[in-house]
Structure formats: C-alpha cells, structure tokens
C-alpha cells in the first residue's frame, strides 16, 4: 500500500513538473519577444527619421505666397520650375534641375520648384519623388481652388502646361521661359548669361 502511494505521488510530481515546465517556456519566449518589440533595430529607427524629414520637404503656398516668392530685390536671379509627380516630362527633367541647383546655387542663383500636385500628396507622392532625387532646393506646393488666376499672374501666355520653367534676372524680369521639357544646354546658357549680367550690375 505504501509503495503504491509512493508510485502515485512520484507520477503526480513528475506530471506537475512537466506541466510547469511546459507553461514556463512559452511565457518566457513571449516576454522576450515583447522586450525586443520595444527596441526596434537601428535601421528601422533611421528609416523613420528619414521619412519624417522627407515629409517636411515641401511647403504649401497660395497664389499670394507665390507672387511673393517671385519678387526680386536686385541681388540674385531666380530659376522657377513648375512640375508635378504625375507629369512624365517633369520627372524626366528633374535630375537635370537638381544638377543645375548644385552647380549654380553657390554662385548666386536662387532656385525654387513649385509642384501642382494635390495637397493630399504633400506627405506621400511628393516626398517619395524628391527623396531619391536628393533635391535640396526649396519646394512649394501651390494650393489654389482655381489655378488659372495664379497661372495668368505668372505669364498670361503660359496656359498651365507642365513642366514650365522661368528664369528671372535680379530685377524680376523674365529672361528665359520654356513650356515642356527644356533643353539643358539652352537653360544653362541662359543661366550663364543672367549670372554674368547680374555681376555687371553690382
């Protein structure tokens, strides 16, 4: 009788240990996974920081704000490119604009890019396009209910086709304009001339 009780007790203890051991293992694994989830890998954190920076790449302006950007104070000429992420010629010529900005900004050329994308694209399509381009020029999104008055204020002959590129001298006068994809050599020649003229005015 005593041996039988001892056998039953031993089996009970063994079974209890097995159950306890079985319960501890998944709980420990879950706890470990929760701890890991609280500390994302550095690459993930860096990616989040990059996305946050890119979302602030463009600033919304209205028609009055655009006119303010186009005004010159007699110091630097200004290059303005109107574009949109859904415009294929705009996308094709944008790398040339980034290179032009890199080459001439330090020499005194101001350059702004004005997108006609929808405001809802400000934190999605626009930064997603600008990020791989490594664009450093100021970018603005024109937010107007009717774009025609803003377009006519820039140039009554424009009509709103994209891309559109305007080069102003330091007095605010248009010295070059092109509707559609520009020819890089022509634009660079116009920039060289306006830069030379600006220096002679100093």
**Predicted local confidence at residue 201, as pLDDT:** 65
Bridge partners for 141 per DSSP? 60, 115
C-alpha span between 123 and 141 (Å, rounded)? 11
Is the pLDDT reported for residue 8 higher than 80? no
**Element spanning 95, H or E:** helix 88-104
Q: What is the pLDDT of residue 33?
A: 33
Contacts of 55 (CB under 8 A, 6+ apart): 122, 123, 127
* Residues 94 and 126 sit within 8 Å (Cβ to Cβ): no
- Higher per-residue confidence, 95 vs 2: 95
Domain ranges of the chain: 58-201
- Residue 202 confidence (pLDDT): 60
Question: Using CA atoms, how far apart are residues 101 and 124, in angstroms rounded to an integer?
Answer: 23
Class of residue 160 by CB neighbours under 10 A (exposed 0-12, middle 13-18, buried 19+):
middle
Residue-level pLDDT at 74: 82
| CA–CA separation, 19 and 30 (whole Å) | 17
Of all residues in the chain, what percent carry a pLDDT higher than 90?
A: 67
Residue 117, C-beta contacts closer than 8 angstroms, at least 6 positions apart = 84, 85, 86, 125, 126, 141
**Could you read off the pLDDT of 144-186 as tens digits, one per residue?**
999 999 999 999 999 999 999 999 999 999 999 999 999 999 9
Q: Name the CATH topology of 58-201.
A: Glutaredoxin (3.40.30)
- pTM for this prediction: 0.71
pLDDT at 62 over 70: yes
């Amino acid at each position: 009788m005593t041996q039988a009780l001892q056998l039953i007790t031993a089996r009970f203890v063994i079974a209890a240990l097995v159950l306890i051991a079985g319960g501890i293992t998944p709980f420990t694994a879950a706890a470990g996974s929760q701890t890991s989830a609280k500390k994302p890998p550095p690459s993930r954190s860096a990616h989040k920081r990059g996305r946050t920076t890119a979302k602030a790449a463009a600033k919304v302006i209205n028609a009055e704000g655009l006119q303010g950007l186009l005004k010159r104070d007699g110091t630097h000429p200004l290059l303005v490119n109107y574009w949109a992420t859904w415009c294929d010629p705009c996308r094709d010529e944008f790398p040339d604009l980034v290179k032009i900005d890199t080459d001439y900004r330090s020499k005194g050329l101001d350059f702004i890019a004005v997108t006609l994308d929808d405001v809802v694209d400000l934190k999605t399509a626009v930064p997603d396009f600008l990020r791989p381009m490594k664009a450093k020029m100021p970018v603005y999104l024109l937010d107007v209910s009717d774009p025609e008055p803003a377009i006519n204020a820039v140039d009554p002959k424009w009509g709103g086709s994209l891309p559109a590129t305007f080069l102003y001298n330091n007095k605010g006068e248009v010295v070059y304009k092109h509707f559609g994809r520009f020819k890089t050599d022509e634009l660079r020649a116009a920039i060289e001339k306006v830069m030379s003229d600006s220096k002679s005015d100093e």
